[in-house]
Amino acid sequence: MSSVRTSNTGLSPAQRGTNNARAHIVLGLIGFLMVFPFVWQLIMSLSTNDQVMSVPPTFWPGELQWQNYATVFTKVPFLSQLGVSIAITVLRVLGQVILCCMAGYAFARMRFPLKGVILAIILSILMVPGQVYLIPQFQIVQNLGLLNTVWGIVIPGIFSAFGVFLMRQFFMGLPTELEEAARLDGANPFQVFWKVMLPLAAPGISALVIITTLWSWNDLLWPLVVTTYAESMPLSAGLATLQGSVSTDYTVMMAASIMAMAPVLILFIVLQRRVIEGLAFSGTK
């Protein structure tokens, strides 16, 4: 990044200024369009229903209707859905980090028969759209008696060919010297993996955690398929199936949707550098 900086020295300050002014106009305009729905959502969540339905629109509600947020808890099982969302995200992230790091490390550094074939089998599932697996996955979860449970939502997503590939690429990029030294000191392969390689893999793991968190928190189709009760749904499915009186109670709906996306949105804005790096890393490997 800093090396690119030198490329602009040919421009006079005035020239640079005018050109950047144009960039600021374009970036500002598109940036506004990007963020406007969020701002509008926030404003509507603090308005009354009459203000939301007024023409011309009420741009500022005057008196802020904070009680809309409190009403969410009485109209939808928000807390249990939040609990489900957190549980499935944590379990899926943990499961993927453990399994993908282990398998990714083995494929990157260990020798064993049929390695290429097994890797090819695992990666082959990436080429098939998820819907193709969906009905049999549903039947497996049903037969295990896991419909409407956290585990039912989590289980298939713990296994990730993408994660295995990502971690394999990451481990392949690490130097071999440390590992060899540890092995010569008599550490067994698990100790080498656990004590030496895993700490070095932190940037790769953080990319995996970020992507899995996004997918798990935001996913709709699978949770919709394996849950039928509002209480056992995560927030994504809960919001999509809001019915009855709530669906015309616009302000409460806006408050609910803000609360549903806020945890991950705020977390990722705070960690934006790391998130952008993680997403870029996963996309370029």
Partner 1 sequence: MSAAPKASFRSDGWWPWLFVVPTLLGVLVFYIWPLFQTGYMSFTETGPFGGDTWVGGANYATLIGDENVGLALVNTVVYTAIVLLGVPLAILLASMVNRPGLRFATFYRVLFFMPYIAMPTAVALVWRMIYNGDFGILNWFLALFGITGPYWTSTPGFAIVAVGIVGMWASLGFGIIILSAGLKNIPPDFYEAAQLDGATRWTQFRSITVPLLTPSIFFVTIISVINGFQLFDLLYAIMGQRNPAMQQSQSLVYIFYNQAFINNNKGYAAAIAMLILLVIGIVTWFQFRMQKKWVNYV
CB of 32 to partner 1, least distance (A): 8
Q: Quick check: helix, strand or coil at residue 213?
A: helix
Q: Which is nearer to partner 1, 187 or 231 (CB)?
A: 187
Comparison of 147 and 231: residue with beta carbon closer to partner 1: 147
Question: 93 with 264: CB under 8 angstroms?
Answer: no
CB of 52 to partner 1, least distance (A): 7
Contact criterion met (CB below 8 Å) for 49 and 251: yes
Contact 112, 103 (CB under 8 A): no
Minimum CB distance to partner 1, residue 205 (Å):
16
Compare residues 52 and 88 and give the one whose CB is closer to partner 1. 52
Query: Measured from the CB of residue 78, what is the shortest distance to partner 1 in angstroms?
Result: 13
Q: How far is CA 129 from CA 124, 136, 219, in A?
A: 11, 14, 15
**Helical H runs in the chain?**
13-45, 49-52, 67-75, 78-109, 115-124, 131-143, 150-158, 161-172, 177-184, 189-191, 198-200, 202-218, 221-226, 235-240, 250-270, 272-284
CA distance 271 to 45: 26
Q: Is the distance from CB of 261 to CB of 213 less than 8 angstroms?
A: no
CB 63 → partner 1: shortest distance, Å? 20
Question: Measured from the CB atom, is 169 or 218 closer to partner 1?
Answer: 218
Complex with partner 1: residue 135 or 202, whichever CB lies closer: 135
Nearer to partner 1, 138 or 231 (CB): 138
CA 164, 169, 170, 171 dihedral sign is: positive
Q: How far is the CB of 74 from partner 1 (least distance, A)?
A: 19
